[in-house]
Amino acid sequence: MCQSRKEGGLGIRDLKFFNRALLGKWNWRLLSERDSLWCKVLFSKYGHSLGLPNGIGYTDSSAKQSSWVRDLDLVFPMESVNEHWFWDGMFRGVGDGFTTRFWYDTWFGSSSLMCRYCRLFSINITPTDTICNFGSWVGDSWVWNFTWRP
């Protein structure tokens, strides 16, 4: 049924895959058009982690979210971020560090720091913080500032 007409099917799209592709497109637009008016409106309502893998769940209760925002959140389950089709082919530039999560995002090497350094991750007090919250510029040098559990 989902095969093309040339292949003897009815040409009906697989709605599950088509929906994921469209949600992936919205996530791409949220990442690449962060300064546009429509993104600013969504960020003011749902938080700046909108469009990041499982980012919404940390800032808002799901009861306050629209069904569209919940669907965006469900496309990227946290445990599969490093093996997810949307993120596999993507290169993350850190920039100012405000949108790159230190532990969860793959920004240094080929896997997240959470996966590579799970013992350090388990004793970190702020696991969902972005890179900019883990340090600051002092002159021309970046100084790291970690907070660990005792």
Q: Are 119 and 95 in contact (CB under 8 A)?
A: no
* 77 and 8 inside one domain: yes
Number of domains the chain is built from: 2
* 74 and 98 inside one domain: no
Quote the pLDDT of residue 128.
Answer: 86
* 2 and 42 inside one domain: yes
Q: Domain range holding 132? A: 93-150
CA–CA distances in Å: residue 34 to residues 17, 104, 134, 137: 25, 20, 22, 24
Place of tokens 């532990």: 103
Per the model's pLDDT, the better-predicted residue between 13 and 142 turns out to be: 142
Distance CA 81, CA 88 (A): 9
* pLDDT band at residue 57 using 50, 70 and 90 as cut-offs: very low
* 83 and 127 inside one domain: no
Which of 90, 114, 134 delimits the end of a domain? 90
* 56 and 97 inside one domain: no
* pLDDT band at residue 110 using 50, 70 and 90 as cut-offs: confident
* 85 and 120 inside one domain: no
pLDDT in tens, 68-99: 777 776 665 544 444 566 666 666 778 888 88
Q: What is the mean pLDDT of residues 106-124?
A: 88
Which of 48, 71, 90 delimits the end of a domain? 90
* 81 and 99 inside one domain: no
Which of 75, 90, 105 delimits the end of a domain? 90
CA–CA distances in Å: residue 3 to residues 6, 7, 40, 119: 8, 6, 40, 47
Q: How many Cα atoms occupy the beta-carbon half-sphere of 53 within 13 Å?
A: 23
